[in-house]
């Protein structure tokens, strides 16, 4: 089975490739010569994932899946949420985003948060979504060199280390994207 993962984020692509079974050939947007920015104009994480999957299916004809992820901080009423990648501006800079979040969270004692990933699968003319959530908390400073995005300031429940301090294998076991992708793969394995 050949399927496109609709992302330009090489970190996400590498993370997901480690989860996909051998009988599924994972193609990137580069593999299908999709070089444009895929629109993400929906007001929800689910909406953006669906929009991206439908865009690739409609414009390129490939079965595909797309994901969207947001970090939802309880004290900030779910911010940055759907705007996680552009929280500090259109430059999509992870350090700027983390700095803004840490600054906005300073007055609050409650640092609980969750990462939420929705994967939208467009396959054989049908659309299906899979959601993964990882609860945890935001640290007061950055720790670790692994991972990407907000990983240096997020500790999953039951962990003393941030996502940027644990291995990719461990993160895939407990993390939001890993949970959503495992649900996707379990579904694909039933076909």
Q: State the catalytic residues.
A: 68
Half-sphere exposure of 87 (CA within 13 A, CB side): 27
**Nearest alpha carbon to residue 144 among 160, 133, 158, 157:** 160
Torsion sign (Cα): 87, 88, 90, 96? negative
CA 123 – CA 101 distance, rounded (Å): 37
Q: How many CB atoms lie within 10 A of CB 76?
A: 17
**Nearest alpha carbon to residue 140 among 127, 148, 122, 152:** 152
Strand, coil or helix: 174: helix
CA 62 – CA 159 distance, rounded (Å): 39
Residues 4 and 29: beta-carbon distance below 8 Å: yes
């Amino acid at each position: 089975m050949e399927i496109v993962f609709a992302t330009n984020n090489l970190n996400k692509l590498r993370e997901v490739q480690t989860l996909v079974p051998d009988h599924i050939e994972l193609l990137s947007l580069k593999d299908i010569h999709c070089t444009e920015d895929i629109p993400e104009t929906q007001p929800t994480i689910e909406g953006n994932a669906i929009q991206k999957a439908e865009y690739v299916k409609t414009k390129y004809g490939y079965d595909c899946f797309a994901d969207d992820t947001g970090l939802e901080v309880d004290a900030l009423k779910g911010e940055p949420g759907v705007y996680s990648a552009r929280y500090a501006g259109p430059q999509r800079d992870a350090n700027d985003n983390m700095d803004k979040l840490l600054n906005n969270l300073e007055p609050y004692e409650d640092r609980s948060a969750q990462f939420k990933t929705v994967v939208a699968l467009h396959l054989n003319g049908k659309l299906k979504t899979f959601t993964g959530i990882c609860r945890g908390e935001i640290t007061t400073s950055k720790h670790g060199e692994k991972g990407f995005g907000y990983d240096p300031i997020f500790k999953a429940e039951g962990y003393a280390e941030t996502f940027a301090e644990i291995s990719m294998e461990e993160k895939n076991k407990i993390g939001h994207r890993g949970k959503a992708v495992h649900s996707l793969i379990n579904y694909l394995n039933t076909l």
